[in-house]
């Protein structure tokens, strides 16, 4: 279940209570009159089933409560209450299939912000991928896949397209369009420094046998990107973190960026272009799959509400 906390102006108290009391998935309703100081008003809390969270939030936002007061949601791990069990049972649908759109938007917005932490992770991932390329080490390349933070902006972009959130789309696009060039430039400096020190000795990327799959673009590249993107979005909306790790090691986004840099450093521009194409195909495929998954789930929710 989710714990809902609302700060409502006094004149909206009855409207808020009416919204919460008419939802079968709401229980443990508590009102503290005049308890809120900033913004001033009443503090109203309740536990709600995930299946009805979107309806509750939409109704509260229709009161302009997100501007005049506040709406917060927290995940409740354990609830020992007959009333809570009854509320979840009466709510339409299954909690494991419910997408709380505001929760998803907030999570992806945080993970898609272009900041120092995001850039550092992406730079480190590309550098690890470059080391995996020059040493022909698939294990190191897999490590780079796990470190890469690029799925956050891709998921945010999918959410933004489905929800028509221009602000979120701009944020995610900025992280990708700035992040990858910066990471690849940093990796180029890293590779050139390694070559100058004699630590990196690679005559040609064509002699690689274990990591050459990174730049080999084909129909299956797009298929894998679609499948991984769908799995990633499903794991994100269902909080299945173990599955999300599997997604990270399924797609060659960061490795393709690292391979492009290494190929360019030895003058093999055709291989560098193929690697860049692999990167683009994976980015587009993951985003498209995320959009399809979310759009399908949203259509299912709309149809269910229409027949309720």
Q: What is the pLDDT along the chain (308 residues), one digit of tens a residue?
A: 899 999 999 999 999 999 999 988 999 999 999 999 999 999 999 999 988 888 899 999 999 999 999 999 998 888 889 998 888 888 877 766 678 888 888 878 888 889 999 999 999 999 999 998 888 888 898 888 888 889 889 999 999 999 888 988 999 999 999 999 999 999 999 999 988 888 877 777 777 777 877 887 778 888 988 988 888 888 887 755 555 655 666 677 899 999 899 999 888 898 899 999 999 999 999 999 999 999 888 776 666 555 55
Q: d(Cα 53, Cα 103) in Å, to the nearest integer?
A: 10
Residues 191, 200 contacting (CB under 8 angstroms) = yes
pLDDT of 68: 92
Rounded to two decimals, the pTM is 0.80
Cis check for the bond before 39: say yes or no (omega within 30 of 0): yes
pLDDT of 63: 93
Q: d(Cα 233, Cα 186) in Å, to the nearest integer?
A: 29
Q: d(Cα 263, Cα 205) in Å, to the nearest integer?
A: 6
Question: Alpha helices of 136-165 — where are they, by DSSP H?
Answer: 138-147, 151-163
pLDDT of 240: 57
Query: Nearest CA to 290 among 171, 166, 122, 152?
Result: 152
pLDDT of 285: 92
pLDDT of 242: 53
Helix axes 269-307, 219-237, angle to 10 degrees: 40
CA angle 289, 294, 297 (to 5 degrees): 125
pLDDT of 129: 92
Q: Tell how strand 26-37 and strand 40-48 pair up.
A: antiparallel
pLDDT of 69: 93
Residues 156, 171 contacting (CB under 8 angstroms) = yes
Give the three-class secondary structure for 208.
Answer: coil
């Amino acid at each position: 279940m989710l714990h809902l906390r609302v700060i409502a102006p006094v004149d909206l108290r009855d409207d808020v209570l009416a919204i919460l009391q008419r939802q079968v998935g709401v229980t443990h309703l508590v009102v503290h009159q005049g308890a809120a100081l900033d913004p001033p008003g009443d503090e109203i809390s309740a536990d709600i089933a995930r299946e009805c969270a979107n309806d509750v939030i939409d109704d509260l936002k229709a009161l302009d409560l997100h501007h005049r007061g506040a709406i917060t949601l927290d995940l409740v791990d354990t609830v020992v209450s007959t009333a809570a069990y009854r509320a979840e049972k009466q709510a339409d649908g299954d909690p494991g299939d419910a997408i709380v759109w505001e929760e998803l938007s907030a999570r992806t917005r945080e993970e898609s912000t272009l900041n120092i932490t995001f850039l550092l992770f992406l730079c480190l991932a590309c550098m690890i991928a470059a080391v995996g390329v020059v040493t022909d080490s698939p294990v190191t390349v897999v490590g780079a896949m796990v470190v890469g933070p690029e799925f956050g902006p891709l998921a945010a972009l999918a959410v933004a397209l489905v929800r028509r959130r221009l602000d979120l789309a701009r944020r995610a696009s900025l992280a990708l369009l700035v992040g990858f060039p910066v990471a690849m430039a940093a990796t180029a400096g890293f590779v050139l420094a390694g070559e100058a020190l004699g630590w990196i000795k690679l005559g040609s990327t064509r002699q690689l046998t274990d990591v050459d799959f990174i730049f080999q673009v084909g129909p299956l590249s797009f298929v894998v990107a679609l499948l991984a993107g769908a799995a990633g979005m499903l794991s994100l909306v269902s909080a299945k973190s173990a599955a999300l790790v599997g997604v990270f090691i399924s797609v060659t986004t960061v490795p393709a960026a690292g391979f492009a840099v290494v190929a360019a450093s030895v003058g093999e521009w055709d291989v560098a272009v193929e690697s860049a194409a692999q990167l683009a195909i994976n980015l587009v495929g993951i985003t498209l799959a995320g959009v399809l998954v979310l759009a399908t789930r949203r259509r299912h929710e709309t149809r269910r509400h229409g027949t309720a």
